Structure 1
């Protein structure tokens, strides 16, 4: 029987199962966590991603949009909380740069696991070349997105300008990813069928990312000063 027209008690039960529990593996765990934590939990994820880059919004936000399509979450509130979380995380790095200066901030943050000094220096170079526009467009670029706030704070960029460009770029990025997940929600059975392949892709991407970060850090330490 077609999923869309099955409306009896059993049909309603089938419709109600089109949520996070139908997705297996790491994708299913992430979707279940998002479903349990709700919209404000998604905001916490985006805040953490801004400060700790290995947490990927590219996985979290489309899943949140998918759950919104199933009726588990509010699409509008997802957009608000995810953008607010991204802004608060960016504001934290801005404050660090403002209070400590660029060099001291980089020296401290580069001690975090799997975070490299060159990442911060690359973001600082991007800011130096493009100025305030780098705050908006940097929010659309993985890697730069999480770090661009630090040099902005160190340069004492006007907080109003920083906030406007950060909210604009974050809103565009988050809205796009949530919207993609929402559109895919029309094909939940297809997502369920292929979620295991998505899991393999996520596992592989995470493993390669961690391996690359570890190898790069080892090479940096072995390089002659």
Structure 2
């Protein structure tokens, strides 16, 4: 295990991020073997701050190391199993919240009206399965997308299929990438980091646009009433 830790630490310039998460992740994988990958990915689904962009490439890197206890294919299979199980856990949370309770909570948010909620729900019910599929490959939304699926009681087996397919694609890119890149596995983490920044920027822009749009609408309504 110490050999893998040393090689992984030397292979990335982001030693602080590796020390906080990577050291722990490799220790889990060496203790539990390939099922440890599933355990880590399951936790990543429940706690998004744990980055799959570090765990998955490290799983591939560990599989290709001299002291590796499993193959990259085994890492991929277990990682995808962990993704699906974690997604179902959040799906269950959404189902527990339920449609009525969620609508009531959203209605309490400032600048959110009933029409906005209805339009969003209608859109999700129409494109929900593809949203789940694509959402599994988008940082931040990878885990969260399971909650609205549960809230709207999406077909549980279809949810599982689309979650499996999206997760399998994402996991393959990072697990095999970490295996193939070896000591350069950190390149994947950096690329995913830029993707995450892009997602955050787009979400922030949409939130700002929505706020401005609602304020302008409110002012127009006041002028019309006057």
Which structure has the highest helix share of the two? 2
Deviations 1:168-192 (A, max 9, x none): 111111111111111111xx3x67x
Please say if 1:156 is aligned against 2:153: yes
Contact 2:56 2:171 in 1 (8 A): yes
The residue that corresponds to 1:54 in the other structure is: 49
Cα distance change on mapping 1:143 and 1:17 into 2, 3 Å: closer
Unaligned residue ranges in structure 2 (runs of 5+): 10-14, 106-111, 208-226
Q: 1:115-126 to 2 correspondence within 5 Å? A: none
Match of 2:61 in 1: 66
User: In structure 2, what is the Cα distance between the partners aligned to 1:180 and 1:92?
Assistant: 28
- The equivalent residue for 1:19 is 4
- Residues 1:31 and 2:22 aligned together: yes
Note closer, same or farther for the CA distance 1:19–1:66 as it changes in structure 2 (3 Å cut). same
TM-score, normalized by length of structure 2? 0.63
Equivalent residue, structure 1, for 2:86: 89
The number of residues matched between the two structures is 178
Which whole-Å CA distance do the structure 1 matches of 2:54 and 2:103 have between them?
27
C-alpha contact 1:35 1:73 (8 A) present in aligned 2:
no
Query: Does structure 2 conserve the Cα–Cα contact (< 8 Å) formed by 1:102 and 1:150?
Result: no
Contact 2:91 2:147 in 1 (8 A): yes
Q: Is the 8 A contact 1:64 1:73 kept in 2?
A: no
Helix, strand or coil for the counterpart of 2:50? Answer: coil
CA distance in 2, matches of 1:104, 1:54: 26
For normalisation by structure 1, the TM-score amounts to 0.63
Change (3 A) 1:162 1:32: same
> Structure 1 stretch 52-61 or stretch 28-37: which is displaced more?
28-37
Question: Residue 138 of structure 1: which of 117, 135, 138 is its match?
Answer: 135
The partner residue of 1:181 within 172, 178, 182 is 178
